[in-house]
């Protein structure tokens, strides 16, 4: 529908790879093994550190989230300059980090955990089912997230997505 979308996860990965200050901070905190010899994020290594230790996860988030927040702020300013009235920020931890409070509305996209696991394994072939389950267990359950959401989209392969999205879109632009 022509609405710009800020994909926080993709931007975080890009910033972790390309933002020199952030990259240095990650290496100082987690060691040279956090990156491959080619300069790519060693996702398997970092995942093994952060999903087994809450303190390590908080440290990584404490390094990455402020840089992503600044990047998002700059992205918003650019889109306002371009004349967009509506933008979307897509992120997994909007509620857990309280960053949803800086948004005009919160849309929760929900699906059964089994389906989330299946979709994640298809997308991230390097992950095991157990690892995906750990990731999900570290996140707030959808039933609690729904209490903070202004809108809920059910993405369970049973309900049609487009009518749900169009209804929300029309409410937001009018």
pLDDT at 44: 86
pLDDT band at 60 (very low <50, low <70, confident <90, very high): very high
Mean pLDDT score, 115-141: 91
pLDDT at 118: 97
Closest CA to 144 of 105, 99, 117, 110: 110
pLDDT at 51: 76
Q: Looking at the domain 92-174, which fold is it?
A: Rossmann fold (3.40.50)
Mean pLDDT score, 90-115: 93
12: which residues sit within 8 A by CB, 6+ positions away?
A: 64, 68
Token digits of residue 52: 């087994």
**Per-residue pLDDT at 109 exceeds 90:** yes
**Per-residue pLDDT at 28 exceeds 90:** yes
pLDDT at 52: 73
**Per-residue pLDDT at 151 exceeds 80:** yes
Q: What residues form DSSP beta bridges with 107?
A: 151
16 burial (CB, 10 Å; 0-12 / 13-18 / 19+) is buried
CA distances to 17, 81, 173 from 3, rounded to whole Å, are 27, 14, 11
pLDDT band at 40 (very low <50, low <70, confident <90, very high): very high
């Amino acid at each position: 529908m022509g609405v710009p979308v800020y994909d926080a996860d993709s931007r975080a990965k890009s910033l972790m790879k390309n933002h020199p200050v952030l990259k240095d901070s990650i290496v100082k905190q987690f060691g040279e093994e956090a990156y491959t010899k080619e300069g790519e994020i060693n996702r398997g290594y970092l995942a093994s550190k952060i999903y087994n230790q809450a303190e390590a996860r908080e440290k990584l988030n404490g390094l990455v989230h402020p840089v992503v927040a600044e990047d998002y702020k700059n992205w918003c300013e650019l889109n306002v300059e371009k004349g967009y009235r509506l933008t979307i920020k897509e992120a997994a931890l909007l509620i857990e980090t309280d960053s949803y409070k800086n948004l005009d509305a919160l849309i929760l996209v929900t699906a059964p955990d089994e389906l989330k696991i299946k979709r994640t394994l298809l997308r991230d072939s390097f992950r095991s089912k157990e690892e995906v389950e750990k990731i999900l267990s570290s996140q707030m359950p959808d039933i609690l997230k729904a209490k903070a959401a202004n809108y809920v989209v059910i993405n369970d392969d049973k309900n049609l997505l487009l009518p749900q999205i169009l209804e929300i879109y029309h409410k937001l632009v009018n």
